[in-house]
Amino acid sequence: MADVQHGNNNHVPVLFSFSVFSRPSLVPRGSGHEVLIQKFLSIYGCQIDIHRKFTIQLFSDEWGQYIDLPKGFVISEKCKLRLVPLQLDMTMLGNLSVSNTVFFCCDMQERFRPAIKYFGDIISVGQRLLQGARVLGIPVIVSEQYPKGLGSTVQELDLSAAKLVFPKTKFSMVLPEVEASLAEIPGLRSVVLFGVETHVCIQQTALDLIGRGLEVHIVADASSSRSMMDRMFALERLARAGITVTTSEAVLLQLVGDKEHPKFKEIQNLIKASAPESGLLSKV
């Protein structure tokens, strides 16, 4: 019997990815577009909105990224495929909703305090974001880069309500335990991302997330780097990639959306004092 890693003469191993999920499976050699669509539906059926249009993309070793499935493509060898929505719901693009949002707090650790520009300011803004998440019941996922050497998250940030706090050595936060945690959030659409460093872990996390079909909002007044030039070019690159670069106050008010929201007063109290107008406003 063929195993999913190697297949046999009649079946080929394929990695099927959709949103934040990836699952290996065997498909008959020679399978084309229709068979592959049915395979995606059999694996992810309950998570795919059948009223939307999708395209299948193939990972190209030559280009180092996913490309649209070539016309007439059939399965002949081991490969990686992903299902990507073609039609975006323009009424939701850029919007945030409490019910389908998660906060990512990236590597806000003690050893970075002396090295990161305006670290005290981004801690202050990070506090208001975490407090806002607690008020609104939004799940929070927190990473710590090599905590054995770089220490834990700074004490000023209360992580007691976090859904997941995990160590990592990879720069991106998108690791298997994070993907498993995201899979537990029904209808997840948006990630609000903040922390350090903007041009390394924030950037790589954001690109991994949009590659999985999620919308990403980077909180500029809660994200920094050792170099303001690195930070500036990272934010510009990410904005060109379709990522929303925003502020903490904009995020929190977008999440409540209405003065009549039952949590509006609590959020208003969090933002009464404006975020620090630090050197993060400077481009160099």
- Active-site pick, 107, 121, 208, 221: 107
Residue 27 makes CB contacts below 8 A (sequence gap 6+) with: 11, 12, 14, 35, 36, 39, 75
Look up 168 and say whether it is catalytic. Answer: yes
Look up 106 and say whether it is catalytic. Answer: no
- Active-site pick, 39, 106, 201, 221: 201
- Active-site pick, 105, 168, 208, 221: 168
Look up 201 and say whether it is catalytic. Answer: yes
> Following DSSP, what letter does each residue of the chain receive, concatenated?
---TTT--SSEEEEEEEETTEEEEEEEETT--HHHHHHHHHHHHGGGS-TTS-EEEEEEETTTTEEEEPPTT----S-EEEEEEESS--TTTTT---GGGEEEEEE--BGGGTTTSTTHHHHHHHHHHHHHHHHHHT--EEEEEESHHHH-SB-TTS--TT-SEEEEESSSSS--HHHHHHHHTSTT--EEEEEEE-IIIIIHHHHHHHHHTT-EEEEEEEEEE-S-HHHHHHHHHHHHHTTPEEE-HHHHHHHHH-STTSTTHHHHHHHHSSPPP--GGG---
Catalytic residues: 107, 168, 201
